[in-house]
Structure 1
């Protein structure tokens, strides 16, 4: 029996969303918390699952970097503090809050916009001691949208929020300020996150055409 091409495409996008949801959720943890062994194992397991030679080169490279990187706990904990907590103004990378990169201040107008997006979608994230526009929470929110299969909301959130500012954070984090180039593991995490967001948005946009 022949399958309707549109139905096939929708099924493919549903499968892609189901595949991306655990990646976004685990990546979100890696932006929020020092990398514990279970989290590192989880992202490596996901990378092994998708590695079949058919992914775009940038994703394949990021997957390979994560899979082969050294994961010494002390080194990664130190890198997490420098890269993702912004502990030393002017020396550490400004932490990954959307308002920091869009408004150049914490808890700016973009924070309210992100919170409104969450509220509109009926998502209540368990936020503790962080502003709602942290990259880790935004990735967790996108994972929730993938699990729901809401493609319009996924594309809207990537293009107007997460995918619009996170590349700037990655660019700043990848330079040599505040202690040198990030460890390979974090380089892979940043590259994988950005590449997945771009591929995801492109596929959703193609579906709209």
Structure 2
């Protein structure tokens, strides 16, 4: 897997990540969602530098000139519900992309520590031979993204796979390196220290879905 760690340099990206982490700022759910969207826009912009373009002719008010457009549009698949704000940011830049949505959540076992990943809902266009972007703010153990990938590719094989995440743990990155095709790209804003005994990212930022949309039952 090819890892694009955008947090290696100081930039506005890190300002937005730091605000996502800050407990004082987290009290403003609208600002939390906006920062998620901003990060999605930055990840989409960086991704756009690596995709293919084709020349086209356009007419300005004064003359004909050469321009460039994507050779093909990707499919953006976000993991519900935490991925919605990130998805909106990606889509605001890749605004001609097709969209897919999938649910994946941790089903905790009785010991309160172990869990399994449940995938219950999927809505997607055809992804065969297309560029697939999987968007999820938190890459912790990596199991959610792995199960989502298995579900999406059960009957179709994408041409390219790109993972967009905000915060990741080294353990999750390692699992995806072992599970996903070698040419998979991970676009990540920040790689954190690791996981605690409940597989939460440290220092992380908490539950992205709850912070964006309110606590669930």
More helix by share: 1
- Shorter chain as normaliser: what TM range? under 0.3
Q: Who wins on radius of gyration, i.e. which is larger?
A: 2
Higher relative contact order (CA 8 A, sep 6+): 1
